[in-house]
Amino acid sequence: EDKVVQSPLSLVVHEGDTVTLNCSYEVTNFRSLLWYKQEKKAPTFLFMLTSSGIEKKSGRLSSILDKKELFSILNITATQTGDSAVYLCAGGSQGNLIFGKGTKLSVKP
């Protein structure tokens, strides 16, 4: 059965800290790994990764995929209180996306 597992389940840091969120996957006919950010509403898209070893960056956020070890990480540097959210990882196959349960990040001032 396909599955996506995220760790840690929750994390509390202080502003300015750097965090790493983990996502491991077992997805049949794997094609892509996606990261979403969910605040109090709908998930919003962050990154889509399809190739190993190529880092994607957007401001203070970056992500990389390892297709050999079947995992991805999402890094956030110099965290801000606005980064507080649930971060969802999803594995994409031919059919659709399989979501992990998310990592809840709380950034304290």
Distance separating alpha carbons of residues 55 and 63, to the nearest angstrom: 6
Among residues 23, 34, 76, 105, the one that binds another protein under rule CB under 8 A: 34
Among residues 24, 32, 62, 84, the one that binds another protein under rule CB under 8 A: 32
Pairing verdict, β 19-26 and 103-108: unpaired
Query: Which residues have CB under 8 Å from 22's CB, separation 6+?
Result: 6, 7, 8, 71, 72, 73, 103
Closer residue to another protein (CB): 83 or 100: 100
Among residues 3, 14, 101, 108, the one that binds another protein under rule CB under 8 A: 101
Among residues 11, 48, 70, 73, the one that binds another protein under rule CB under 8 A: 48
Taking CB under 8 A as the rule, does residue 94 contact another protein?
yes
Closer residue to another protein (CB): 17 or 61: 61
Distance separating alpha carbons of residues 73 and 4, to the nearest angstrom: 13
Among residues 22, 24, 62, 93, the one that binds another protein under rule CB under 8 A: 93
Closer residue to another protein (CB): 13 or 97: 97
Instruction: Calculate the alpha carbon distances from 29 to 2, 25, 39, 71 in Å.
Output: 10, 12, 30, 15
